[in-house]
A and B are shown apart, each in its own frame.
Chain A
């Protein structure tokens, strides 16, 4: 595909605007570490929530959703929709606690919650692990995906444009810190969504309009024995284990970047950067709604249109099904194609800038400052942060260049931390969890994942698989693996918790007074002389948030497919839940 001059003009203009916004904040970001990594803790809810959703909207996300829809229909999205349950949990139970904790990074939490040598080891280890390998693999994966998109659309001729885009993004991110990241994220998310919406309209037109699209997809489904339009997986015979695991286990057990149980990574960074706990809660709620309700439908429509436009796509290899998304760009008219390409660049840039800023925060705040140079000036730390951000960007780019496919490495990183979610949730609400609990969880999760990689077909896996089959599940290796990792990890960290001493009382008391979490803090609450109770309202709020997201998501789908009656009913139910939730959020004392 060859872009017209007007398309390049739009792309160039959009890039110039993004960079100008980023650079505008460079002076402010240079004042201190708090400004550079947390925007001076002054972000309003709409800015931090949009920044979260922009970051999780990467250039390869629409491709992944296209692959899912072509393979399993709309219902296949439950593989990631399940994270809405965890997202709602973070809104009601954790966002305000993060802000009250007042730390600079997710990893620094360890320093205020746990005591002694294990805590110091855990902080240094996690800073290094999340700051270098995880960040570089994420950076490499996102960049590699963007290279594939550019190759699909332009051949090799677009790679120079991509290199320029990457270089400029790293340049303004290095200078402007989180200020530049969140400010540009607003625009990048807007452009990314605009591009995906325009592409979906062009795709539906190419498939003959929405009515013809629905008929053609139904016919393709009948030919393949599938219902591509159903939002619920086929439950007639055996319940697919993957669906069960996704719905009942994955969202609280698996540490998935952007959907960490209880918040973490870039989402925790933005909660920590909020003006106050209430803004953290509202921003996280906006992220959850935008992420699950607003984003997916344009991608789903484009994917369904691709099934119609490219006959035989449903039987193609995964790489080919995912490439259907950029292939649809060929049908976009001159002048609008530049907007679509700019939207892919926007999705790419918003993720890259957040990754490098976040990894810089881990390496500076949790490795360099506590372990290498303790008492330097803020100016010194900002200068070192900028160097670290640049180094991570160079390492990440090298990763994407050296590795042909980062997918295996990325999956391994995911599997290594597949069982640690529960300890990350309970460390806020149970005083007895200590640094050993987290170390045991990390070790057990990684150990079990490695064993399963090396010996996938072993007696334990076979036994568990047979037991699950007898219980009525359609078993798959991934589901069995996750269940096994979670079981082993949970036994290991609970055992480690009871076999080791509790943390220092002074440390626990200071944490309890500062964060005021409620829950199982009996002895510490007694020491404090005042007990903070876990109220019923957040539980009701969580249920309402899930109901709201579910009905708004599917109501929007019904409206798009012109099922007006059910669409209106779903949206009304979602609106009612939203009203109830807003009352709860308004009445709760988030300051504690």
Chain B
């Protein structure tokens, strides 16, 4: 599950950087990507 969140979060961040047309879009997508990575980390820690 943690890998799933990182697997979505990383491309989400990359797509946000590459394809956003405005600052608001870029910030939103990057913030969402950060949430995905953080949730992935939390799940990974909970599993350990």
Interface residues of A (CB under 8 A from B): 6, 10, 13-14, 17-18, 20-21, 44, 183-184, 186-187, 190-191, 194, 197-198, 201-202, 205, 333-336, 338-339
B7, B18, B20, B24: which contacts A13 (Cβ < 8 A)? B7
Q: A194-B36, A198-B28 are in contact. Are A335 and B8 (CB under 8 A)?
A: no
Residues of A within 8 A of B21 (CB): 333
Q: How far is B39's CA from A13's CA once the two chains are assembled, in angstroms? A: 19
4 nearest A-B pairs in the assembled complex, by CB-CB distance: A335-B19, A187-B4, A194-B32, A333-B21
Are B19 and A205 within 8 A (Cβ)? no
B12 contacts the other chain (CB 8 A): yes
Q: Report the minimal beta-carbon distance from B33 to chain A, rounded to whole angstroms.
A: 8
The reply to whether A205 and B25 contact each other, CB–CB distance below 8 Å, is yes
Question: CB-CB contacts of B1-31 with A at 8 A, as 1s and 0s?
Answer: 1001101100110011011111011001100
Chain B residues near A191: list those with CB within 8 A: 8
CA distance A333 to B8 in the complex (A): 19
The total of interchain contacts (Cβ-Cβ below 8 angstroms) comes to 66
Interface size class of B (residues with CB under 8 A): 20 to 34
CB contacts (< 8 Å) of A194 on chain B: these are: 12, 32, 36
Chain A residues near B18: list those with CB within 8 A. 335
In the complex, chain B residues whose CB is within 8 Å of the CB of A202: 25
Contacts A6-B15, A21-B1, A191-B8 aside, 12 further interface pairs with beta carbons under 8 A come to: A14-B8, A17-B4, A17-B7, A184-B4, A186-B39, A190-B5, A194-B32, A197-B28, A197-B32, A198-B29, A202-B25, A339-B29
A6 to B15, CA, bound (A): 9
User: B1 is contacted by which of A14, A183, A335 (Cβ under 8 Å)?
Assistant: A183
Task: Give bound CA distance, A20 to B1, whole Å.
Answer: 10
Among B12, B35, B43, max chain A CB count under 10 A is at: B12
Given contacts A186-B1, A187-B4, A205-B22, contact A10 B15 (CB under 8 A): yes
Least CB distance, A203 to chain B, in whole angstroms:
11
- Determine the distance from Cα of A18 to Cα of B22 in the docked complex, in whole angstroms: 30
CB within 8 Å for A190 and B39 given contacts A18-B4, A336-B15:
yes
Min Cβ gap B42→A in Å is 9
Give bound CA distance, A15 to B28, whole Å.
23
5 A-B residue pairs with Cβ-Cβ distance under 8 Å, sorted by A, are A17-B8, A44-B46, A186-B5, A205-B25, A339-B15
**Could you tell me the distance between the alpha carbons of A17 and B8 in the complex, rounded to whole angstroms?**
8
B4 and A336 within 8 A (CB): no
Cα distance, A524 to B15, chains bound together (Å): 63
Asked if B39 and A335 make an inter-chain contact with CB atoms under 8 angstroms apart, the answer reads no
Q: Name which residue of chain A comes closest to B43, CB basis.
A: A186
A205 to B23, CA, bound (A): 11
**With contacts A6-B15, A339-B15 known, is A187 near B5, CB below 8 A?**
yes
Known: A334-B19, A339-B12. A198 touches B25 (CB 8 A): yes
Q: Do B8 and A201 touch across chains, with their CB atoms under 8 A apart?
A: no
Q: How far is the CB of B4 from chain A (nearest CB, A)?
A: 5
* Chain B residues whose C-beta falls within 8 Å of the C-beta of A198 in the assembled complex: 25, 28-29, 32
How close is A12's CB to chain B, nearest CB, in angstroms?
Answer: 11
In the complex, A516 Cα to B16 Cα: how many Å? Answer: 53
Least CB distance from A218 to B in Å reads 22
**Chain B residues within an 8 Å CB radius of A197:** 28, 32
Q: Which residues of B contact A20 (CB under 8 A)?
A: 4
Residue of B nearest to A191 (CB): B8
Q: Is the CB of A336 within 8 A of B29?
A: yes
B17, closest chain A residue (CB): A335
Q: Are B20 and A333 in contact (CB under 8 A)?
A: yes
- Tell me, in angstroms, the Cα distance from A291 to B39 when the chains sit together: 19
Question: What's the minimum C-beta distance from A55 to chain B, rounded to whole angstroms?
Answer: 17
Most interface-central of B4, B18, B43 (chain A CB within 10 A): B4
Tell me the bound Cα distance from A191 to B7 in angstroms.
11
